Each structure stands twice: as C-alpha cells, then as structure tokens.
Amino acid sequence: MAVTTSDLRNGMTIVIPEGLFSVVEFQHVKPGKGGAFVRTKLKNVRTGAVIERTFRAGEHVEQAMVDKREMQYLYRDGADYVFMDSVTYDQVQVSPENLGEATQYVKENDTAVLQMYNDEIVGVDLPAAVELTVAETEPGVQGDRVSGARKPATLETGLVLQVPLFVNPGERIKVDTRTGEYITRA
C-alpha cells in the first residue's frame, strides 16, 4: 500500500530499496527556500541497523503490512524453534536468525508476539521482563555483601549476565529483555 511521506508515523513499517524498515522518528522540515522535506530515522527490521533518510514532501513510499500474532514457544527442532499460533493452533518453525536476541529470553511454553511480513518472521515482541532460572553461578558466600558487587551467572536459556553475589544456582530471577540486565529475584 503506497502512502505519502506526510503520512509517516513512528512505528510504521515501510519498504524501501534497502529493505524493510520501521520508522523510529520523523520530522517535517519546511525551509524558507526550496521544497519541504521529511527527515527520518529508520531501523532495519531484519538486522536492527539504523539509517537516516530524507524524503521529499509528498513522495510515495510503500507501507508494509506487518501482522502481529501471539504465539507460544513449544520446543526446539534441531536448530529451529517451534511456535504455535494461539488462535489457529498452526505450528511454525522459526530459525534462530529470525528471532535474534529473543533466543536468549524464550523458554518452553512462553508466549511471544511474532511480527510476520508475507509469511516471513521479521521480529519478535517480548515482555519487558522475563523470569528465568539460574543454571550455574558461583555460590554466594555468607557475609559477602559488598554493595554493588556482581558475578557472572548462566541462565537456563544460555544467557550469561552479571548478578549480585547473593544469587545462587537454581533461583529464579527477573531479567530486563531490553537491556539484558538483572532486575530482581522472582
């Protein structure tokens, strides 16, 4: 569907020759001399790379219809992740490349919103925080309560992050999916 640059909004997904991009920010500029234009910051949906692009006012761009579907992660099939659509119960195999960083945060039976464009998964919306179990870390030592001291911990999904000294193996912790940092014990 073609839209003009004056219709651009944050979060809108467009198709340009470089690929599929999401509008991060836009600004309409009308200089005293010459024609108006739209300055944009665009994020590549597949790679996450951000580019800046300037369009003439009224220029047509192709809007991409990205379908967001809530799906439940069932299990791994070789390298692929198998998700089930919560409405139709259809199962979809998704490669780790299409999931990107989300592979560090999803575990079996978790729900995620998959962004689909022409039957291709182009992104994943995760909750702001997830609860994961600490698979291994050095045990906490009684009396070792230095303020702000951290140690590495490996979680059940394979994610390695820094946690406070009092966190022990087998404990459930909350992790921020945007920054990949420890929030609190669950």
pLDDT classification of 102: cutoffs 50, 70, 90: confident
CA torsion 75→78→80→86, rounded to 10°? -20
pLDDT in tens, 124-151: 888 888 888 888 888 766 665 666 778 8
d(CA 133, CA 168): 10
pLDDT classification of 34: cutoffs 50, 70, 90: confident
> How many other C-beta atoms are found inside a 10 Å radius of the C-beta of residue 73?
21
Contacts of 75 (CB under 8 A, 6+ apart): 82, 108
Mean pLDDT rounded to a whole number for the chain: 85
Mean pLDDT of 156-177: 86
- pTM, rounded to two decimals: 0.70
pLDDT classification of 52: cutoffs 50, 70, 90: very high
Please determine, for residue 1, whether its predicted confidence score (pLDDT) is greater than 80: no
Q: What residue ranges define each of the domains in the chain, with the CATH number in brackets? A: 2-63 (2.30.30.30), 67-125 (2.40.50.140), 129-185 (2.40.50.140)
Q: What is the pLDDT of residue 7?
A: 83
